[in-house]
């Protein structure tokens, strides 16, 4: 089940690199370093010279995106899984209520859609007629998942690009209003109850952000607590109440969350594990399948091999940066993230495990599943005299070998642990 997209096709350069890697005299040493980095696809090379002998080790790139490094994205997913499930243990859920919430951006205009719940269904069959620009307002096509048309507007001129950009830009602020509103609703009903959360951003095909969040209300020892159903009602109500006023090309506009709010109370452990799996999966996705640098000069937008909708999002960012520099000059540096400037994963301090605990989990996982001792970076990490040399693999062939091994290693872990441990759980399998 190896994903060949992560490897790319075997072009002549890759093949030549494979041959060079496998036949070189330093192969054994090199492969030992690759193994000790956990088969990282873009390792950081560090060297140290002691008593005239130079040692090179590979440290992990720690990139969370699967397309960049499958091995490190697995670790990132695992960390997320620990944070999520660590906040939903039976002890933490005693005298507490938890919900899983998905918050969306509102509609900015009709876009082509793939219907995951009805894959054979057509895009917008019920809608007929044309818009003022002469474009069709319905679409009878069936878009498969991954169709580049999915997420792009039926009519780019009807689509409200400015509202789209402003909502993406201010989405973290909308989240702040949301949690503030929710906390107010909760404390009015049950004073003393504390609300904590963990959330992950997912970029939709239309390039607008989504938040998937787990919210927990801790009832404490006071008599007046809050039950999961009431908490879920508040979590949905807060979404319709949250808004921010922001500068726009004509004065100010009020931004809101989308009306489509999904709230599920989390009551049993199986649900907990499933949402842990969802969130872990989302963090390893890039903003789009194509890796773009965050900074792209506006003059280069038209040269990029990306869909017209993506270009229009970028040029709207560039336009707002120029038109309203006091508020939005920073948008010019965010073309490659389509205006996203928040974090992918955030949690409130009270939600669950600390970073330290998470690193201990990680170290334990590493010790149990990979890596020979003595080769590891971890044991030497405290030494200050390692010097950075470069990063990445020497040839595409070397990378191919590392990524192939990472994918094979992942499969082995999944097969071996489906029944009872984290490798299965983080896939969200019950
Ligand atoms: Zn890596
Ligand atoms: Zn369509
Ligand atoms: Zn139109």
pLDDT tens readout for residues 12-71: 777 777 777 777 788 888 899 999 888 999 998 888 888 888 888 888 888 878 888 888
CA 133 to ligand 3 center in whole angstroms: 4
Ligand nearest to the CA of 37: 1
Region 166-185 average pLDDT:
97
What is the percent of the chain where pLDDT is above 90?
A: 35
The pLDDT of residue 413 is above 80:
no
42 or 87, which is more confident: 42
CA 59 to ligand 3 center in whole angstroms: 52
Residue ranges with CB less than 5 Å from ion ligand 2: 112, 123, 139, 141
Q: Write down the mean pLDDT value for the chain.
A: 82
Q: Is the dihedral of CA 373, 378, 382, 385 positive or negative?
A: positive
The pLDDT of residue 113 is above 50:
yes
pLDDT for 3: 41
Residue ranges with CB less than 5 Å from ion ligand 3: 131, 133, 135, 155, 157-158
For residue 240 the two structure tokens come to 């319709």
Conformation bin of residue 423: beta by default, left when phi > 0, alpha when psi is -120 to 50? alpha
CA atoms within 13 A on the CB side of 84: 33
The pLDDT of residue 236 is above 90:
yes
Top mean-pLDDT range of 61-70, 105-114, 189-198, 215-224: 105-114
294 or 206, which is more confident: 206
CA 121 to ligand 3 center in whole angstroms: 24
pLDDT bracket for residue 363 (50, 70, 90): low
pLDDT for 13: 77
The pLDDT of residue 125 is above 70:
yes
The pLDDT of residue 430 is above 80:
no
CA 108 to ligand 3 center in whole angstroms: 12
Q: Pick the range with the lowest mean pLDDT from 12-26, 28-42, 169-183, 358-372.
A: 358-372
Region 283-294 average pLDDT:
66
Q: Tens digit of pLDDT for each residue in 328-343?
A: 999 999 998 899 998 7
Domain residue spans in the chain?
4-68+354-425, 72-105+157-347, 109-156
pLDDT bracket for residue 380 (50, 70, 90): very low
CA 132 to ligand 2 center in whole angstroms: 18
pLDDT bracket for residue 8 (50, 70, 90): low
Q: Pick the range with the lowest mean pLDDT from 214-228, 356-370, 414-428.
A: 414-428
231 or 4, which is more confident: 231
CA atoms within 13 A on the CB side of 362: 23
For residue 62 the two structure tokens come to 């720690």
Alpha-carbon Rg for the chain in angstroms? 24
CA 156 to ligand 2 center in whole angstroms: 13
Rounded Cα gap, residues 14 and 397, in angstroms: 4
Ligand nearest to the CA of 42: 1
pTM for this structure?
0.77
pLDDT bracket for residue 309 (50, 70, 90): very high
pLDDT for 355: 53
Ligand nearest to the CA of 140: 2
All residues at 6 or more sequence positions from 302 whose CB lies less than 8 Å from its CB, including other chains: 311
Rounded Cα gap, residues 202 and 80, in angstroms: 14
Region 298-317 average pLDDT:
92
pLDDT for 373: 36
Secondary structure class of 283 (helix, strand, coil): helix
248 or 17, which is more confident: 248
pLDDT for 147: 87
275 or 7, which is more confident: 275
The pLDDT of residue 239 is above 90:
yes
The pLDDT of residue 428 is above 50:
no
For residue 364 the two structure tokens come to 């334990």
Nearest to 248, CA basis, from 336, 306, 316: 316
CA 125 to ligand 2 center in whole angstroms: 9
88 strand-pairing partners: none
């Amino acid at each position: 089940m190896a994903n060949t997209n992560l490897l790319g096709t075997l072009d002549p350069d890759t093949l030549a690199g494979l041959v060079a890697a496998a036949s070189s005299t330093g192969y054994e040493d090199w492969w030992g370093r690759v193994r000790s980095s956990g088969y990282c696809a873009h390792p950081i090379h560090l060297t140290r010279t002691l008593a005239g002998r130079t040692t090179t080790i590979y440290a992990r790139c720690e990139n969370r995106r699967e397309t960049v490094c499958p091995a490190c994205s697995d670790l990132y997913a695992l960390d997320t899984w620990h944070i999520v499930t660590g906040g939903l243990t039976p002890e933490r859920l005693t005298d507490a209520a938890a919900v899983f919430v998905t918050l969306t951006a509102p509609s900015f205009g009709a876009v082509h859609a793939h219907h995951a719940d009805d894959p054979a269904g057509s895009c917008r069959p019920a809608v007929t007629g044309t818009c003022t620009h002469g474009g069709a307002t319905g679409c009878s096509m069936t878009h498969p998942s991954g169709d580049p048309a999915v997420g792009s507007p039926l009519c780019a001129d009807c689509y409200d690009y400015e509202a789209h950009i402003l909502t993406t830009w201010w989405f973290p602020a909308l989240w702040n209003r949301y949690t503030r509103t929710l906390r107010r609703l909760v404390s009015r009903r049950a004073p003393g109850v504390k609300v904590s959360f963990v959330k992950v951003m997912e970029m939709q095909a239309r390039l607008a952000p989504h938040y998937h969040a787990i919210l927990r209300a801790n009832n404490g020892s006071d008599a007046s607590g809050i039950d999961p159903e009431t908490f879920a009602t508040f979590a949905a109500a807060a979404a319709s109440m949250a808004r921010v006023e922001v500068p726009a090309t004509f004065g100010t506009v009020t931004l809101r969350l989308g009306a489509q709010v999904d709230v599920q109370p989390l009551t049993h452990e199986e649900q907990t594990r499933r949402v842990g799996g969802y969130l872990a999966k989302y963090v390893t996705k890039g903003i789009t399948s194509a890796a773009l640098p965050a900074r792209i000069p506006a003059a280069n937008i038209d040269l990029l091999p990306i869909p017209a909708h993506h270009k229009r999002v970028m040029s709207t960012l560039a336009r707002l940066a120029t038109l309203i520099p006091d508020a939005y000059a920073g948008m010019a540096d965010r073309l490659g993230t389509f205006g996203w400037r928040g974090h992918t994963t955030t949690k409130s301090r009270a939600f669950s495990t600390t970073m330290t605990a998470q690193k201990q989990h990680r170290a334990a996982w590493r010790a149990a599943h990979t890596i020979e001792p003595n080769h590891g970076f971890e044991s030497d990490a405290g030494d200050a005299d390692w010097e950075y040399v470069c990063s990445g693999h020497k040839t595409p062939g070397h990378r191919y070998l590392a990524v192939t091994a990472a994918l094979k290693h992942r499969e082995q872990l999944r097969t071996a642990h489906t029944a009872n441990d984290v490798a299965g759980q983080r896939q969200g399998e019950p």
